[in-house]
C-alpha cells in the first residue's frame, strides 16, 4: 500500500490536523502562556493563604506538632496548589524566552529560563518539606526531625531570593533591551532586583530581618510576585504572534 492510500485510510488524522477548533491554533496557546504569569501569582497567593502562618524558626516542638498535625489537610492542599503555581511559572518563563528570542534577545531569555527553573526547584522543595512534616508530625520520636526540617523550610525561603532576583534581572533587562519595557518599568525592575536580593541576607535570629520575619516572609516574595504581574501584563499587551512551535 503506498503512502497516499495509507493517508486516505487513516480517518481522523487529517481532520485533527486541519481542525478549526479554537484550541488547535498557535494564537490560543500563545495567549494562554503569556497569561501564565498571572495564573502563577494567583496560585501562589492562594497556596499561601491556605497554608496559614507557620511557627517561627526555632519554635518549640509542641508548637510544631500542633501546627503540622492540626493543619494536616490544609498543608497538603497548599502543596498541590503550589505545584500548580510552579507549573505556571515555568510556562511564564518559556513565554518570556520565546518573546525575547523573537527580537534577538535570547541570551536574557535563557537566563530567565535557568533562574525560573531554580525558583521552581526551591518552591517544590519547600512544598515537599512541609508536606512531609504534615505526615511526620504524628510519629513518635521524630521531634528532632520535625524541628530540623521546619527550620530548613525557612532557610529555603531566604535562599530563594537569589534565583528570584536573577529572574527579575534577566526579564527586566531582556524586556528593556527588546523595547518592551519603558525606562520607568526598567527602573522599577532594577529596584526590585536589589530589594529581592536583600531578602537573601535575612538571617537575624528574630525580628523583621529574620528568616521568618516580615521582610523575608512577605515583602521580598511580594515584590517578586508584583514583578511577575508586570512582566506578564507586558507580554499580553504585545498580542499573540503566529508561532508554529506552540
Residue 167 grid coordinates:
529572574
Burial classification of residue 226, based on how many CB atoms lie within 10 Å of its CB (0-12 exposed, 13-18 middle, 19 or more buried)? middle
> What was the pLDDT predicted at 28?
67
**What is the structure's pLDDT at 20?**
54
pLDDT tens-digit readout, 124-170:
999 999 998 887 765 555 777 888 889 999 999 999 999 999 999 99
Give the best-scoring range by mean pLDDT among 11-15, 97-101, 167-171: 167-171
Nearest Cα to Cα of residue 52 among 15, 81, 13, 17: 81
Among 28, 123, 118, residue whose Cα is nearest residue 83: 123
Q: What does the pLDDT look like over 32-85, one tens digit per residue?
A: 778 899 999 999 999 999 999 889 988 888 888 889 888 889 999 999 999 999
Q: How many helices (H) and strands (E) does the chain have?
A: 12, 0
Contact status, residue 91 vs residue 112, Cβ threshold 8 Å = no
Domain boundaries, given as residue ranges, for the chain: 25-237
How many angstroms separate the most distant Cα atoms in the chain?
Answer: 77
Amino acid at each position: 500500500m503506498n503512502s497516499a492510500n495509507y493517508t486516505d485510510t487513516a480517518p481522523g488524522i487529517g481532520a485533527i490536523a486541519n481542525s478549526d477548533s479554537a484550541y488547535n491554533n498557535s494564537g490560543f496557546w500563545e495567549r494562554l502562556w503569556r497569561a501564565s504569569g498571572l495564573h502563577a501569582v494567583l496560585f501562589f497567593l492562594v497556596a499561601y493563604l491556605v497554608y496559614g502562618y507557620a511557627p517561627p524558626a526555632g519554635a518549640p516542638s509542641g508548637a510544631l506538632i500542633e501546627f503540622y498535625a492540626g493543619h494536616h489537610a490544609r498543608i497538603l492542599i497548599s502543596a498541590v496548589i503550589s505545584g500548580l503555581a510552579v507549573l505556571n511559572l515555568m510556562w511564564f518563563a518559556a513565554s518570556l524566552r520565546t518573546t525575547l528570542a523573537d527580537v534577538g534577545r535570547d541570551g536574557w531569555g535563557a537566563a530567565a529560563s535557568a533562574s525560573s527553573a531554580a525558583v521552581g526547584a526551591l518552591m517544590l522543595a519547600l512544598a515537599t518539606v512541609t508536606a512531609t512534616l504534615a505526615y511526620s508530625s504524628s510519629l513518635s520520636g521524630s521531634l528532632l526531625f520535625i524541628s530540623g526540617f521546619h527550620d530548613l523550610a525557612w532557610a529555603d525561603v531566604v535562599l530563594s531570593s537569589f534565583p528570584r532576583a536573577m529572574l527579575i534581572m534577566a526579564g527586566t533587562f531582556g524586556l528593556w533591551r527588546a523595547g518592551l519595557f519603558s525606562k520607568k518599568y526598567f527602573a522599577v525592575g532594577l529596584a526590585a532586583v536589589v530589594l529581592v536580593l536583600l531578602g537573601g541576607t535575612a538571617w537575624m535570629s528574630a525580628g523583621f530581618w529574620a528568616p521568618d520575619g516580615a521582610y523575608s516572609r512577605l515583602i521580598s516574595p511580594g515584590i517578586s510576585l508584583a514583578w511577575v504581574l508586570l512582566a506578564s501584563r507586558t507580554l499580553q499587551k504585545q498580542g499573540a504572534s503566529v508561532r508554529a512551535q506552540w
